[in-house]
Structure 1
Amino acid sequence: MSAAPAPHPNPSLGSNAMAFPAPRITLPLGMSVLQTYSGAFICLEILFGGLVWILVASSNVPVPLMQGWVMFVSVVMFLCSTLYLCVYLCGLADRVDTDWNLIDFVYHFVAFVFYFGASVLEAATTAAAAVEPDRVNATTAAVVTLLDFRQYSINVVATIFSFVVTLCYACSLGLALRRWKL
């Protein structure tokens, strides 16, 4: 005769509950997430990221090789930040058993790296417009962009806001690191 298996310490959890850690969420759910610094930074990321997207698109993307990456990053990060904020606003983070603090950190790290690269490319595109094509030789410049004054002005503003969004992602990354390492 075999012995009966020992009962689970908490029968309501079931046998699989021991395999997965409890979710770690330090940000509040619902509308109260907007009252935190992280929620405010996510809103700023969405606002300024959408502005970068609109500004680069309104300049007719005169240098698609460099500004294509800027458009890709600004559109994808705009959508991801919007989705990320909706997860907290709708309370869905409470239903998924995962370490949301780690996800927050990884997301903002990737977003910061991508946006920093996009900001540098946007600044390079704008700075290359100041190079006069008749004075260019192989030793002075590798990239020349022909922008009219309207496109140049829009790209200057897009560059500024791109670095502002990068700063917002850096602040969110710092806050996420602090929450993750609590």
Structure 2
Amino acid sequence: MANTAGMERLPSGLGICTTIPDMFYIPELVFGGLVWCLVASTYVVPANPQGWVMFVSVFCFVMTFIWLVVFTCGGHRNSGGWAAADFGYHGFAAFLYLSSSVLLATVTISYATLANIQPQLWKYYKMNISAVVFSFFTTLLYFIHAIFSANRWKAF
């Protein structure tokens, strides 16, 4: 019976735009999409770290969109455990984004010397700086979402 009462507290429809943990979906999509676009349009010098950043940004963008659609359509009302799953996903996404943000910052720092030698690469260096800022901000959004989701999960 407590599980049914708990399910009533999970929002659906436009209610996700008004509750504290769920209103982070749209900013996560926007800033995650910006990271995706900025990294995709830069000059890839070390392909492996940039590839990880692309994987994380695309994976989290797609999964967050799916998660948003499930919550908007009310699919979470059919079974229990959605509050724990919400916390688990956003904690995992925050960890992934933190790892990719640190790699992206490392690549950008090493890219500064190359941009000083070849001035035509300066534009890509600035785009990498923007991607680093948006990536760390997206990490913060996922982390805050995970904290509030944990509080909601504990309230069940």
Shared fold per TM-score greater than 0.5 = yes
1:79 aligns with 2:62: yes
1:175 aligns with 2:148: yes
Kept in 2, the 8 Å contact 1:62–1:147? The answer is: no
Give matches, 1:69-108, under 5 Å. Answer: 69-95=52-78, 97-108=79-90
More helix by share: 2
Q: Which one of the candidate residues 97, 102, 122 is aligned to 2:104?
A: 122
Provide structure 1 residue ranges, at least 5 long, that are not aligned to the other structure: 1-20, 134-145
CA distance in 2, matches of 1:147, 1:163: 26
Counterpart for residue 5 of structure 1: none
1:150 aligns with 2:133: no
Q: Which one of the candidate residues 46, 50, 57 is aligned to 1:67?
A: 50
Query: Counterpart of 1:180 in structure 2: which amino acid?
Result: W
CA distance in 2, matches of 1:111, 1:132: 31
In structure 2, the CA distance between the partners of 1:132 and 1:70, relative to structure 1 (3 Å rule), is closer
In structure 2, the CA distance between the partners of 1:132 and 1:83, relative to structure 1 (3 Å rule), is closer
Kept in 2, the 8 Å contact 1:49–1:162? The answer is: yes
CA distance in 2, matches of 1:167, 1:52: 14
CA distance in 1, matches of 2:103, 2:131: 11
1:43 aligns with 2:16: no
Corresponding residue pairs, total? 149
Q: What SS is found at the alignment partner of 1:37?
A: coil
Q: What SS is found at the alignment partner of 1:59?
A: coil
Counterpart for residue 132 of structure 2: 159
Kept in 2, the 8 Å contact 1:41–1:168? The answer is: yes
CA distance in 2, matches of 1:101, 1:32: 15
CA distance in 1, matches of 2:44, 2:66: 26
Q: Provide the alpha-carbon RMSD of the alignment.
A: 2.0
Deviations 1:71-101 (A, max 9, x none): 0000000000000010011111112x12111
The TM-score, its normalising length taken from structure 2, stands at: 0.88
Q: Which one of the candidate residues 86, 92, 96 is aligned to 1:110?
A: 92
Alpha-carbon distance, 1:61 to partner: 2.9
Q: Which one of the candidate residues 55, 66, 72 is aligned to 2:38?
A: 55
Kept in 1, the 8 Å contact 2:108–2:125? The answer is: yes
Provide structure 2 residue ranges, at least 5 long, that are not aligned to the other structure: none
Which of the pair has more CA radius of gyration?
Answer: 1
Query: Counterpart of 2:73 in structure 1: which amino acid?
Result: C
